[in-house]
Amino acid sequence: MEEPDKIVAQHNALINARFSFLPLQMRLFLALLARIEFEDADFKEHFVPVSELVFDRRGGSAYEQVDEMCEKLTQFTLYIEDLEEGTRRRRKKPNYQYLPLMSKAEYRGDLGGVLAIFNPLIMPYLLQLRQSGNFTTAALAQLRKLKSPYSLRIYWLLKEYADFGRRTMSVDQLRFVLNIAEHEYPRFSSLKSRVLDKAQDELAGTDLPFTFELERESQVVKRIKFLLHLTEGATKKTLATEDGASSDNTSDWGFSLQQVGVSKRSITQIARQLETGEYDLGYVDFVLTRIQRQHSLGKVKKLAGAIYKALIEKYLLEEYLGSRKQAEPKKKLLLAPVAEPEIAFSMSAVREIYDNPGPFLKSRRQEETFAQHVEQVYLADGFVAELRAGEEWLVKK
């Protein structure tokens, strides 16, 4: 019997892989996901009754649909990032590969259900995730509220960024992840009504409701900014304690650190520093934001190690405290919110990202010069160009 508060998890590379489910396939995937435990080292064959897949069974057609679904699911593939061997971290320059999702999906009429097992090749994306980090969790009860496969995929995409409160994706990127071909919903208005609006309606009944803003270039929608409106308890996480039991009162900051790969032992050390007042939770958030951004630019290779070092050695603390001091007078006199710290990228790092886009951005790069890219992505967002030590930087304060 499934736990009523079951927590399931996926590697972030799987969340951002390219694939699309049909409704029956989605339900079987969730059913198998629900049967995985965090401690599992291998996939197991599971039996899933038809009642868990088909809610309106009339006549024999429902069973025929399940049988047909199983046949097609054995040929189902994911277009997914190849992870670093050993660490299972996402590569700086991702290499995509096709992987079959299932080893077996067999409808058994005599048993009244499906016998299925995941393909061992996708173990790194679903098993032993606490050891590798870089994963996202969700409550199964919330996922089962969703009827549309697109809504399920969007839920996971937004859940990955729940701690940040928003996620911006280009239209090309969203089409890539959801496996929506160019001839499907060729007009953005169709994509909006059939995918975005529907997902917004369905997620409104979960712990992750959202709104979105459309960013246009020459009247053409290029990017979608998802704004997350987390309900109470939406960011409450569950961590495993040293003896394997779950702890529901573990703080969100601790889980955020574990999600990026910081070990439980290291988190305990950081907790001691917080308890003794060496810094406050604001510094933890400051470090997470800063190091993750540097990692996305390729300036930091080992994300978890860099975050741990910045917290334990406190080498960013002076900068963090300085940013707070600058913001305090404004807060006292004008009741303004605390200003965010400076964000800066070297032009060489921005150029490297531009020259090495992901597969969903390649078509856009062909028609966009580097200067246009800088103007549209950075300068339009409030960055300014500055010369520092003979090198050009993009800075936002």
What domains appear along the chain, each with residue ranges and CATH number? 1-144 (1.10.10.10), 239-334 (no CATH), 343-396 (no CATH)
Give me the long-range contacts of 27-31 (CB less than 8 A, separation at least 24). 27/52, 27/53, 28/53, 28/69, 28/73, 28/105, 28/114, 28/116, 29/101, 30/140, 30/143, 30/144, 30/152
Give the pLDDT band (50/70/90) at residue 359. low
Residue pair 162/228 in contact by the 8 Å Cβ criterion = yes
Give the pLDDT band (50/70/90) at residue 57. low
Q: Residues 210-263: pLDDT tens digits?
A: 999 999 999 999 999 999 987 655 544 433 333 333 333 334 677 778 778 888
Q: What is the mean pLDDT of residues 135-144?
A: 94
Side-chain-side CA neighbours of 373 within 13 Å: the count stands at 18
Does residue 342 have a pLDDT over 70?
no
Q: What is the mean pLDDT of residues 128-151?
A: 91
Structure token pair of residue 117: 């097992």
Whole-angstrom distance, CA of residue 329 vs CA of residue 339: 11
Give the pLDDT band (50/70/90) at residue 363. very low
Does residue 390 have a pLDDT over 60?
yes
Give the pLDDT band (50/70/90) at residue 29. very high
Residues with Cβ within 8 Å of residue 331, at least 6 apart in sequence: 337, 338
Does residue 353 have a pLDDT over 80?
no
Residues with Cβ within 8 Å of residue 229, at least 6 apart in sequence: 209, 210, 211
Does residue 189 have a pLDDT over 80?
yes
Global pTM exceeds 0.75: no
Whole-angstrom distance, CA of residue 235 vs CA of residue 252: 7
